[in-house]
Structure 1
Amino acid sequence: MQFIAQVRLADSDDPEVSSLSGILLLFACQNQPGMCDDWDADSGANAALLVAPGDEPITAPLNGVTKLDLETFLSLEPYDSSLSQAFDDDNYVAAVDGDGNVLGKIGGGPVWKQGDETPSCECGQPMRFVALLEERGESGVNFGGGGCGFAFICTRCNDKAKFLWQC
């Protein structure tokens, strides 16, 4: 699996998410794109792992592709996610349409491409949205061609997370 992002839960504007201390690590199968069912949160072709700050870093596997050609460091810019007249998040959609450098968002709500696919946790509770990632530029991530990835956590269990994408 390819490591695609890490998200600090403290950066979320959702108090139920930001009150949990931790980092969400996101991985997806990028071998033979389209053949892994990595769009499905429950297929096993992706992983979302919650780690506590200060935990030891995950070590790379001994063989296979383990890193991209480059690292991309991003900055976060606050914005108002409450406007939803035409879309689930009008300000986010306007930002994405107006700036090719917008690669996603942390907090607010998901902006679904096909319809709500909020996953449920093993405990039965719907999971809370954490982040949306755009397939743009030279990110090296394939979400089906112009798709988005969605990261979720369970705020009841505090240690379960899921990742899926739509295009």
Structure 2
Amino acid sequence: MQTTLMIYDGTAPADSDVPRTGGVPLAPAGFTWPMCGSGCGGPLQFFAHLPVEDGVLSIFVCQNDPGACEFWAPASGANRVYLFPRRELQPMAVPASGVALLPATSAIRTQVVTLDPDEYDDQDDHDEVAPDAYDLARAGWKREPEERFGKQREVLGSLGGSPSYLEDDRLPACPSCAGTMDFAAHLEEGISSLTEMKLGGQLGYVFVCHTCREGAFLTD
């Protein structure tokens, strides 16, 4: 099984059209900064700019008063996922108040990791959950033989594949067509307190309906 990990790759220009966390979002002309609809009414914090096959995923999550707004719930209004067309994007005007930006911009490079699930099967315990591709790829990132810990904090998430250990009843439906959305990405908090997307120590999940160009975000 293959997993496309997103790996921290140093800093990036704040308005660059490259895979990154932080910086300034790029959006079509006339697009306005999304505001929290869960309670605080402040600007959502821009988390990530992720170019994909049919556009750019732009992810926003409320961080104005962590824990007060339900940033972990897909229909709370405390997060937004947009699938913008790749052409004619421009930097958005940043709100003057509220927690709108991450402290730093982190470049992302992708790394395809191939694992043999048979190596992780416990033949003596058939009740075990099947090996999870993302969990295994992240846990084994840059781990040498007989080394207990790798460099998991370099992993900022993954692109495509399937959502790690997420129950079917939590898969979000598209608000436009009511169909089940496709899984698009995992998001991890990040490599340091200066760059991290604060998710309360949880894993973030990004979904998208490519037909309606609608997106959704939730955490585990």
**TM-score band (shorter)?**
0.7 to 0.9
User: Is the partner of 2:183 in helix, strand or coil?
Assistant: strand
Shift of 1:81: 7.1
Shift of 1:52: 0.8
1:58 to 92, 96, 104: 92
Spell out structure 1 runs of 4+ moving beyond 6 A: none
Check 1:51–1:104 CA distance in 2 against 1; reply closer, same or farther (3 A cut).
same
Q: Sort the Cα spacing of 1:36 and 1:50 in 2 relative to 1 into closer, same or farther, 3 A.
A: same
Q: What is the 5 A alignment of 1:119-138?
A: 119-122=172-175, 123-138=177-192
> Identity of paired residues, percent?
34
Tell me which amino acid in the other structure corresponds to 1:34: G
Q: 1:50 to 1:81 in 2, by over 3 A?
A: farther
| Cα offset, 1:98, TM superposition | 2.7
Q: Which residue of 1 aligns with 2:132?
A: 88
Distance 1:92 1:44, change over 3 A: same
Change (3 A) 1:81 1:50: farther
Partner of 1:31: 64
TM-align CA RMSD: 2.3
Q: TM-score of the superposition, structure 2-length normalised?
A: 0.62
- Residue from 147, 150, 156 that aligns with 1:98: 150
Q: 2:198 aligns with which of 142, 145, 158?
A: 142
CA distance in 2, matches of 1:106, 1:57: 24
Q: Is the 8 A contact 2:63 2:99 kept in 1?
A: no
1:32 shift after superposition: 1.7
Shift of 1:143: 1.3
Larger radius of gyration between Structure 1 and Structure 2: 2
Task: Report if the CA contact (8 A) 2:139-2:150 is conserved.
Answer: yes
Q: Does the Cα contact within 8 Å between 2:188 and 2:203 map onto a contact in 1?
A: yes
Worse-matched range after superposition: 103-112 or 52-61: 52-61
* 5+ residue gaps, structure 2: 1-43, 122-129, 142-148
* Counterpart for residue 15 of structure 1: none
Q: What is the CA deviation profile of residues 119-167 of structure 1, one whole-angstrom value per residue up to 9, with x for unaligned ones?
A: 01021110001100112432332212x211111101332x11111112x
> Are positions 1:45 and 2:78 aligned together?
yes
1:151 alignment counterpart: 206
Q: Which has the higher strand share?
A: 2
Change (3 A) 1:136 1:68: closer
Structure 1: how far apart are the matches of 2:63 and 2:81?
A: 15
Alignment size in residue pairs: 153
